[in-house]
Amino acid sequence: MIDVKLLRADAEAVKAAIARRGEDVSPLDRVVEMDVGQRQAAEERDALRNEQKGLSRQVGDLHKQGRADEAGELQAQSRELGDRADALDAEVEDLVSQVREILLRIPNVPSPDCPDGLTPEENPVVRQVGDLDGFADHQRVPHWEVGEELGILDVATGTKLSGAMFVMYSGLGATLCRALCQYGLDRNADAYREMRPPTLVRTETMVSTGHLPKFEDDAYHLERDDLWAIPTAEVPLTSLARDEVLDEADLPLKLMAHTSCFRREAGSAGRDTRGLLRVHEFDKVELLAYATEAQSHEVHMDILHRAEAAIADLGLTYRIIDLVAGDLGASSARTFDIEVYAPGADQWLEVSSVSWFSDYQARRANARYRPTGERGTQIVNTLNGSGLAVPRVWAGVVETYRQEDGSVRVPEVLLPYMRGVEVIEAGA
């Protein structure tokens, strides 16, 4: 969440920044009002506590002097001051809680470098690699048809087992999934420590990344155990340092994880959900880093470069877009999306969002670091991006590498993970 100190310093500037997202900024006025109220109440409470302490010392002196009656009168005054201070303390706690609840629903302040705009159509293209007109007719077959023809993608059985927007990979289709994940891990093992976090997490873990409370409808909740199925490994990895203090010497701290991810896709009504375009469960390799603010740009560019290189080395046509303020995720200050062109579906498919969250997530998680040679602590910055997200990359590979005879050639970089298979044919 945003730092309330920013509102104290320049509320109008914060409101103007949030307004770039197209958001209603009136809740920030309430935050400012309540913050002033709680600070005034806290000052009054502290003054009463100090006055009460002074009376307590006088009561002790009077008892030593044998002046019990006078001491009793002062004790009554002290109790009255204590009651008033307790009431103010409860008021302060209530106002602090209300401020936090509002701030938990306020999105992050966009970076000044983030382009202006409110809709995805306004996102500027940073670069595009590949020619959309260079695909042959045999590549213009959608992956759900290719998958069914080859027996490697079974949407019907996935629906039978689990419902709409669940799929089942079969044979070499499943092998291709695993190959993509291992490929995504291996190419980043030089700098990112591999983790395997739990797939189910506590509520506070989801709150730390901003997925709760604002996006509760998009998450799967196991009410019996009050656990949530993770929508991305970003969620548990961000909470590894929750309520902890890191050493600056250990930053940037770079992590990666391959997990299953679960999203209800509550807002998918009316969208194209055929094949792998939008599914409830998928595998993904996530890259995440803790960093200082000064390190953040370099780390952001490193994650973007790695995610882009993974797609480029697969030989896919892709583009990178710079998200406008109105299209940013709620927790992000700056995001670059990588989109793969799927010639069969004739669509650009987002395969990675590479984001800098400034200190927004870490403030929610109370993740801090101790600057070298300094007293006190500071909130870390968090960054992440999809190193390799399976479904849409799988779709892009199957469509791009479809041959005239209907088979699919395996990209060269995936051959080490395919048990010697170079071409996926029907019945394989």
Question: What is the C-alpha to C-alpha distance for residues 288 and 255, in angstroms, rounded to an integer?
Answer: 5
Amino acid letter, residue 232:
T
In the block, tokens 């920030």 appear at: 28
Q: Which stretch of 200-214, 255-269, 395-409 has the lowest confidence by average pLDDT?
A: 255-269
Sign of CA dihedral 206, 209, 212, 218: negative
The count of other CB atoms within 10 Å of the CB of residue 139 is: 18
71 has pLDDT over 80:
no
269 has pLDDT over 80:
no
Non-local (6+) Cβ contacts of 125 within 8 A are 319, 320, 321
Question: What is the C-alpha to C-alpha distance for residues 385 and 301, in angstroms, rounded to an integer?
Answer: 11
* Averaged pLDDT, 409-428: 95
349, 390 contact by CB (below 8 A):
no
Q: What is the pLDDT of residues 179-215, one digit of tens each?
A: 999 999 999 999 999 999 999 999 999 999 999 998 9
Angle in degrees, 0-180, between the axes of helices 390-400 and 172-186, rounded to the nearest 10: 110
51 has pLDDT over 90:
yes
Q: What is the pLDDT of residues 28-42, one digit of tens each?
A: 999 999 999 999 999
Question: What is the C-alpha to C-alpha distance for residues 392 and 156, in angstroms, rounded to an integer?
Answer: 18
User: What is the second-level CATH architecture of the domain 120-424?
Assistant: 2-Layer Sandwich (3.30)
pTM as predicted:
0.94
The reply to whether 4-103 and 120-424 are identical in fold is: no
Nearest Cα to Cα of residue 359 among 293, 299, 287:
293
Question: What is the C-alpha to C-alpha distance for residues 393 and 419, in angstroms, rounded to an integer?
Answer: 20
The CA-atom distances, in angstroms, between 197 and each of 27, 185, 239 are 35, 15, 10
Where do the domains of the chain lie?
Answer: 4-103, 120-424
- The per-residue pLDDT for 110 is 98
44 has pLDDT over 90:
yes
The tokens for 389 are 């997200």
Non-local (6+) Cβ contacts of 389 within 8 A are 282, 283, 284, 285, 351, 352
Q: Which helix (H) or strand (E) holds 333?
A: none
Question: What is the C-alpha to C-alpha distance for residues 273 and 278, in angstroms, rounded to an integer?
Answer: 5
User: What is the second-level CATH architecture of the domain 4-103?
Assistant: Orthogonal Bundle (1.10)
